[in-house]
Each structure stands twice: as structure tokens, then as C-alpha cells.
């Protein structure tokens, strides 16, 4: 029994763990207790498991963890506690787990986190806290997590982020704050996140994006994906995206933008995907897309556009370029195009330089509709060069 390295007690309707029941398993490296009915764990349950690297407790009914429950697990790298009923985490719960790399706490009932909860977890790389009921994060909560690469805080009740909340997270690559109630952030909120590649602010309550919103990320040239979709954004100040020169994907769909200003996307030479669908756009200024030399997908569906000037796309690569400007699933909420003004697009399609992009869930490649009631194949257009 002392030579056992892995034990799986997965899905056995276990409701109680005896004190010290694993003490003799000194070589144990993995212990799976997931999908049971465990509700509490005592402080002596895992005593003596100095070799344990992987402890899985997800999908149980755990509501409370005593502060010394994991004490002495000096080799532990993975501790899964997601999908339980945990409402609070004591500040010493994870004390001295110096080898811990993965800590999933998502889909619990956590209301708040003590500022010292994660102190000392210097090896932690992934921390997932989404799907809880967190409304406030102390500015020192993540202090000292020098190895953290992924921090997922989505689907909570967070309304405000202090400017020093993410201070010192120089290795962080993915930060998700999606599906909260954040309406604004301080200009230094993202300061020092020198490795950040993905910033997800999808489905919050932003209505205004100031030029200093992402100032902490300026000149770092690492951010690749920026999600600002499904907010309430009606204004984006000039220069907001100027220094995000490595940006590959920019999601702005589902907002309240009415005008796309010239220069809004200047310097985004590497941008490949720009989603502007489901806004209130009725005007796009000349030169708005002039700097987007790498753009491959532009979605303008479900706006209030009537015409589209061919000069707007003059600098865009044709390989072929993918344009979304009508959504077949929302026939009553689309751009009401003046079809004759889109003859140039029909010619582009015939030449194979532009094709129609459909959302992933539909993936339909049909001839576009110019206005409610029909396919544009009926449209008689003059040959290029003729009036």
C-alpha cells in the first residue's frame, strides 16, 4: 500500500473522508476524489502526503475548507476545487503550497476573497475564479503571484477594479473579466502587464472608452486579442488603440457605436479580424480602415448603413477579403442598403477578391441580400469602367 502512486475514487458517492485515512501512502502522487458527495474536509485528511502532486476534488458539495486542510502538501502542483459550493476561502487555506501551479476555483459560490488568500503561491500559473459571486477584489489579492499566466475572473459581480489590482503580474498572458458589471477602469489598471496577450472585457457595462484606458499596455506590443463586445460603448476617444500595434483581433460587436471615425484604428497594421456588427453605425468616415493592411475579416452586419464607399476598402488585402454586411438570422434588423451603390461589391465577388463572411454558427456561403426581400443576383450593374 505504501508504494501506491495513484488512487482514483471518482464517482463513488463518498460523503465523508476519515481523518488521516491516506497517511500511510507516502509515495502517493495522484488522488482523485471528484464527482462524489463530500461536503467538508478536515485539517488532518491529507496529512503526510509529502509526494502528492495532483489532488482533484471538483464536482463535490464542499462548502467549507478548514485553514490547515492542505498544510504540508509541499509537492502539490494541481488542486482542483471547481464545481463545489464554497462560499468563502480562508486566508491560510493555501498557505505554503509553494509548488502549486493550477488552482481551479470556478463555479462555486465565493462572495469575497481575503487579500492574503493566495500569498506565497509563487509557482501558481493558472487561477480560475469565474462563475462565482465575487463583487470586490482587494488590490493586494494577487500580489506576489510572479508566475501567474492565466487569470479568469469572468461571470462574477465585479463592478470596479482598483488600479493596483494586477500590479506585478509581469508573466500574465490571459486576463478575463467578461460578464461582470464593470463600467470603467482607471488608466493605470493594466500598467505593467508586460506579457499580456488576451484581455477579455466582453459583456460588461462600458459606455465610454477613453484614450488612456489601455495606457498601461502602451508600447508593450504583446496584446493580440482584445474583447470589448456586448457592452454599451457609444464613444471611443481618438488614440485609444494607437499603441496596441500587435493587435490581431478586435471585437467591438454588440455596442452602440454610430460613427467610425477616421484614425480610430490607425497603427493597427497587424489587425486581421475586426467585428463591428450589431452596433448603430450609420456613417463611416473616409480613411477609417486605411491602416488595416492585414485585415482579413470585417463584419458590418446589423447596423444602419445605406451605402458603402469602395474607397473605404482600398488598402485592404484581397486574399480573398471576407466581408460581413448582412446577417440572414436577423432579417428585420439589418443595414438597409442602397443596392445600386454596392455594384462594386458585386464585381469584386465575381472576381473572387471578396467573399461573404458568415458567423461561425451559421457558416452559410450565400449570395448577399441588399435589402429585405431578395437576393442581389437580380441587380443589374454596369460593367466596371462604364457609367
Closest C-alpha among 325, 338, 332 to residue 366: 325
Residue 1 is predicted with a pLDDT of 46
Residue 219 is predicted with a pLDDT of 56
Q: Which domains does the chain have, with CATH numbers?
A: 1-109 (3.80.10.10), 206-387 (3.80.10.10)
The answer to whether the CB of 265 falls within 8 A of the CB of 242 is: no
Using DSSP, state whether 127 is helix, strand or coil.
strand
Residue 360 is predicted with a pLDDT of 64
CB-count burial class (<10 Å; 0-12, 13-18, 19+) for 66: middle
- Rounded to whole angstroms, the Cα distance separating 323 from 344 reads 13
Per-residue pLDDT of the chain in tens (387 residues, 90 and over written 9): 457 899 999 999 999 998 888 888 889 999 999 999 999 888 889 999 999 999 999 999 999 888 889 999 999 999 999 999 999 888 889 988 999 999 999 999 999 888 889 999 999 999 999 999 999 999 999 999 999 999 999 999 999 998 889 999 999 999 999 999 999 888 889 988 999 999 999 999 999 999 989 887 755 568 999 999 999 999 999 999 998 999 999 999 999 999 999 999 999 999 999 999 999 999 999 999 999 999 999 999 999 999 889 899 888 877 778 998 877 666 667 888 888 888 888 888 888 888 887 766 555 556 677 654 456 677 778 776 665
Distance of CA 189 to the CA centre of its chain: 17
- Rounded to whole angstroms, the Cα distance separating 129 from 179 reads 13
Amino acid at each position: 500500500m505504501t508504494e501506491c502512486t495513484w488512487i482514483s475514487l471518482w464517482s463513488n458517492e463518498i460523503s465523508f473522508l476519515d481523518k488521516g485515512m491516506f497517511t500511510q501512502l507516502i509515495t502517493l502522487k495522484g488522488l482523485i476524489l471528484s464527482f462524489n458527495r463530500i461536503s467538508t474536509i478536515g485539517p488532518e485528511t491529507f496529512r503526510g502526503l509529502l509526494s502528492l502532486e495532483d489532488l482533484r476534488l471538483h464536482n463535490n458539495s464542499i462548502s467549507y475548507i478548514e485553514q490547515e486542510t492542505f498544510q504540508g502538501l509541499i509537492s502539490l502542483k494541481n488542486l482542483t476545487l471547481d464545481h463545489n459550493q464554497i462560499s468563502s476561502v480562508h486566508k491560510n487555506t493555501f498557505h505554503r503550497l509553494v509548488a502549486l501551479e493550477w488552482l481551479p476555483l470556478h463555479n462555486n459560490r465565493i462572495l469575497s476573497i481575503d487579500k492574503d488568500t493566495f500569498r506565497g503561491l509563487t509557482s501558481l500559473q493558472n487561477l480560475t475564479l469565474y462563475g462565482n459571486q465575487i463583487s470586490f477584489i482587494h488590490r493586494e489579492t494577487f500580489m506576489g503571484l510572479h508566475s501567474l499566466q492565466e487569470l479568469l475572473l469572468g461571470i462574477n459581480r465585479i463592478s470596479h477594479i482598483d488600479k493596483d489590482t494586477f500590479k506585478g503580474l509581469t508573466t500574465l498572458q490571459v486576463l478575463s473579466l467578461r460578464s461582470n458589471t464593470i463600467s470603467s477602469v482607471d488608466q493605470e489598471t493594466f500598467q505593467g502587464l508586460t506579457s499580456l496577450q488576451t484581455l477579455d472585457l466582453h459583456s460588461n457595462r462600458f459606455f465610454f472608452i477613453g484614450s488612456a484606458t489601455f495606457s498601461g499596455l502602451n508600447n508593450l506590443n504583446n496584446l493580440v486579442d482584445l474583447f470589448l463586445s456586448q457592452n454599451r460603448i457609444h464613444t471611443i476617444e481618438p488614440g485609444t488603440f494607437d499603441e496596441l500595434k500587435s493587435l490581431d483581433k478586435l471585437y467591438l460587436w454588440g455596442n452602440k457605436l454610430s460613427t467610425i471615425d477616421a484614425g480610430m484604428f490607425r497603427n493597427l497594421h497587424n489587425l486581421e479580424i475586426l467585428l463591428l456588427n450589431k452596433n448603430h453605425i450609420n456613417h463611416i468616415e473616409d480613411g477609417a480602415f486605411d491602416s488595416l493592411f492585414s485585415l482579413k475579416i470585417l463584419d458590418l452586419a446589423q447596423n444602419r448603413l445605406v451605402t458603402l464607399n469602395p474607397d473605404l476598402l482600398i488598402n485592404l488585402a484581397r486574399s480573398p477579403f471576407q466581408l460581413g454586411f448582412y446577417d440572414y438570422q436577423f432579417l428585420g434588423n439589418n443595414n438597409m442598403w442602397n443596392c445600386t451603390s454596392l455594384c462594386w461589391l458585386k464585381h469584386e465577388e465575381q472576381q473572387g477578391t471578396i467573399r461573404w463572411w458568415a458567423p461561425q454558427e451559421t457558416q452559410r456561403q450565400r449570395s448577399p441580400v441588399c435589402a429585405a426581400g431578395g437576393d442581389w443576383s437580380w441587380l443589374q450593374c454596369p460593367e466596371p469602367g462604364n457609367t
